[in-house]
Chain A
Amino acid sequence: KAGVTQTPRYLIKTRGQQVTLSCSPISGHRSVSWYQQTPGQGLQFLFEYFSETQRNKGNFPGRFSGRQFSNSRSEMNVSTLELGDSALYLCASSFPGGADTEAFFGQGTRLTVV
């Protein structure tokens, strides 16, 4: 099986712009979670989707949003980018998506805001 695929791998954006990141889960996985990784804050949970519904949300401002499609692929969007949004954005998929099932991570998208 192919692993979790994230595109693009690298992005450079200007402050104030918006960005969309994509995540394709492992085939058959219906849960997709998103995390932000920075040297200072570590790995922080953004949100999780299961069967196109957001089940859980972290403590990030409303500029961070996401969605999931019927084929379980997910996107996250960050609007009005700030310098502090520079980070590695990781998505993870799991099956069947319960509270105690293994999460498989993608390689991440490295976002740099200048």
Chain B
Amino acid sequence: GENVEQHPSTLSVQEGDSAVIKCTYSDSASNYFPWYKQELGKRPQLIIDIRSNVGEKKDQRIAVTLNKTAKHFSLHITETQPEDSAVYFCAANQGAQKLVFGQGTRLTINP
């Protein structure tokens, strides 16, 4: 089955700097890669997603890149702000509406 590895497990950056989180997946049939942000005590919320027919997608300060050949995808957050502090999860689909999640990255933005 699908396996998704996510690194790093914790990340601390200065406010205004960039943060990068990386994920690898194993199932070459996966074609949908969402990123979720989960604040303490709240539900996971989609922040950006990418499909396998696209190599890069950007939404304001957030971007995701996908390398299908190497089976890895990354989340880039620029100009980080304190409200970016949260746990971020990458995921890859395996069949209809089954998401396999990475273990999560706890991002802390230091003022």
Residues of A within 8 A of B (CB): 4, 31, 33, 35, 42-45, 48, 50, 55-56, 58-59, 90, 92, 94, 97-108
Contact = CB atoms under 8 A, between A and B. Distances in A.
B: interface residue count bin:
20 to 34
A98 to B, nearest CB: 6
B25 interface: no
A90 B89 CA distance: 14
A106 B44 CA distance: 8
Contact of B31 (A42, A97, A99): A99
Contacts of A59: 1
Given A102-B34, A105-B45, A45 B98 contact: yes
A56 B43 contact: no
B73 interface: no
6 contacts: A42-B104, A43-B101, A99-B31, A99-B96, A103-B34, A107-B43
Given A43-B89, A102-B34, A97 B96 contact: yes
Given A33-B98, A100-B51, A108-B43, 15 more contacts: A42-B102, A43-B89, A43-B91, A45-B100, A55-B96, A55-B97, A59-B1, A90-B43, A92-B97, A99-B31, A99-B95, A100-B93, A103-B34, A104-B46, A105-B36
